[in-house]
Structure 1
């Protein structure tokens, strides 16, 4: 599981940062990828990577501001020309369906794959997905309806410790399956083995929280609780609280406080104003780290692995 940031800027594209978009890579887990927001020129950013648009099966939109959706019609259209023939499901606030259908209709775009558009309950809810994956969403505080998403992976059963079994010379077959299920088996020579002794510990499923634009509010912390990775906007410096509030955004210090209160493992700061370059951008990270040490200022095309907790 990896987070791949395609665009980390706020408002408008800049030379150093494109507008909001990121991919949650679940290739090892589900052989698919999920896209969160799709700002202008997201498909251009993808061309600079090894990402395959046909692997993107779900798209989650946080809110309907242009810097989060203007790249969506182009991406959906281009996916048809890049070998994409599998269905795509889109989730987001009310208005998403009208926006996509209008763009496709007026541009006479015909997709080579089916799409489903799910407009979410403005009060929040859960999206139940195959293989026991779950996405919880709640409204934030951003002037327009803006969602935060909490992605929960199912717990992973312990792996069979094949090296530990090597000394018993067990042939491939049903015995391995029984041992992996923790059952007791008897070998041909009368040796009794307890499968529980040959299975590693279960791994608790990872939690990834991806938040839309927002002022500080309780739902940020609820969604971020115990997250292994928390993606939080960081539009302003810590001393610009008043400006952040007036524009329905958060500061570096406010993002770090959410991570600290939620007991998250790592905080990734994105949605950075184009005003912050070089040392000024680094200052955002330093401000956050003074509150939450595991804070990371994110740049376009950065990728981060999300490991299981030990």
Structure 2
């Protein structure tokens, strides 16, 4: 099952010609999840070919560069005869304001738009084999929270050779064992799953902070995330500015990634101060983080592999 992240908007509050406001799209084997929706998000989706069908939108906070793309996207879906409901998940106290955006200028969508306030530390969405968990972040003058996409463990690897040695016939019995069901052979022998199936294998973990100071909640949101997308608005020479505006520096994001045991770190919400050259942020993060740290461009796509993808088996 594939998981691809597209960085639709990687800029700060003031957009530049290279970076739009915040928006991140996750395509998980055809299911599209949108995190934040800054101005122009719908055009970025078209421009970068992500597909346009989204059933869930997760809002980190109510600052304009994270929500002002909502009215246009909702109306475009309506013009395209959308019928499927849209669920918007957001921090406590957001519903009234988001409803105003949905109904801007008296507009009434022709499909259901359901706004759900979710407290940090809870589950915003329970999928078939994953959860979207919330955690509290710290930003200036607003209630804010991040999101962690955490997949369920997968079944362990099936040992076909061992199964055949035990006399299990090739065919449906293999699948039943892999799914955790014991199988009785023709001679009455019972083969249990633990005899031929290895230990459960971890799913993938993706953490998205939105705008935030470095906080412990990000570290505990998901153990060893495969990809951490963290606020890195400024370089360290603007650390005072980062503290004053409720943002993080590249080095601070790297320290959080290290503590969380992240495999990769994407640095986003880049201030317009670094238009055309975000290397100061990227370089200081790389110096403080042993994994891969990078500043994505708008439109950049990143595949998130399973933690055991490099295993030889």
* Fold-level similarity (TM above 0.5): yes
Structure 1 residue 47 displacement after superposition: 0.9
CA–CA distance in 1 between the matches of 2:193 and 2:139? 53
* TM-score, with structure 2 as normaliser: 0.85
CA–CA distance in 1 between the matches of 2:247 and 2:123? 25
Residue of 12, 27, 36 corresponding to 1:25: 27
* TM-score, with structure 1 as normaliser: 0.86
Larger displacement relative to structure 2 (60-69 or 43-52): 43-52
Structure 1 residue 19 displacement after superposition: 0.6
Residue of 124, 127, 130 corresponding to 1:130: 127
Quickly say closer, same or farther: Cα 1:302–1:187, change in 2 above 3 A.
Answer: farther
CA–CA distance in 1 between the matches of 2:247 and 2:85? 34
Larger displacement relative to structure 2 (127-136 or 209-218): 127-136
Larger displacement relative to structure 2 (6-15 or 210-219): 210-219
Quickly say closer, same or farther: Cα 1:254–1:154, change in 2 above 3 A.
Answer: same
Partner of residue 284, structure 2: 287
CA–CA distance in 2 between the matches of 1:104 and 1:306? 32
Partner of residue 232, structure 1: 230
Give deviations 1:177-202, integer Å, cap 9, x for gaps: 333235344369x9997755654653
Counterpart contact for 2:168–2:174, Cα < 8 Å = no
CA–CA distance in 2 between the matches of 1:131 and 1:140? 27
Matches within 5 A, 1:243-262: 243-262=241-260
Larger displacement relative to structure 2 (96-105 or 210-219): 96-105
CA–CA distance in 1 between the matches of 2:238 and 2:21? 21
Segments of 5+ residues of structure 2 without an aligned counterpart are: 309-313
Structure 1 residue 2 displacement after superposition: 1.8
Matched, 1:75 2:73: yes
Larger displacement relative to structure 2 (143-152 or 65-74): 143-152
Matches within 5 A, 1:265-276: 265-276=263-274
Structure 1 residue 43 displacement after superposition: 0.3
Residue of 135, 138, 142 corresponding to 1:141: 138
Counterpart contact for 1:179–1:185, Cα < 8 Å = no
Counterpart contact for 1:36–1:60, Cα < 8 Å = yes
Partner of residue 35, structure 2: 36
Partner of residue 96, structure 1: 94
SS at match of 2:272: coil
Counterpart contact for 2:182–2:190, Cα < 8 Å = no
Residue of 294, 297, 307 corresponding to 1:296: 294
Quickly say closer, same or farther: Cα 1:70–1:260, change in 2 above 3 A.
Answer: same
Structure 1 residue 126 displacement after superposition: 2.8
Matches within 5 A, 1:197-216: 199=197, 202-216=200-214
Segments of 5+ residues of structure 1 without an aligned counterpart are: none
SS at match of 2:208: strand
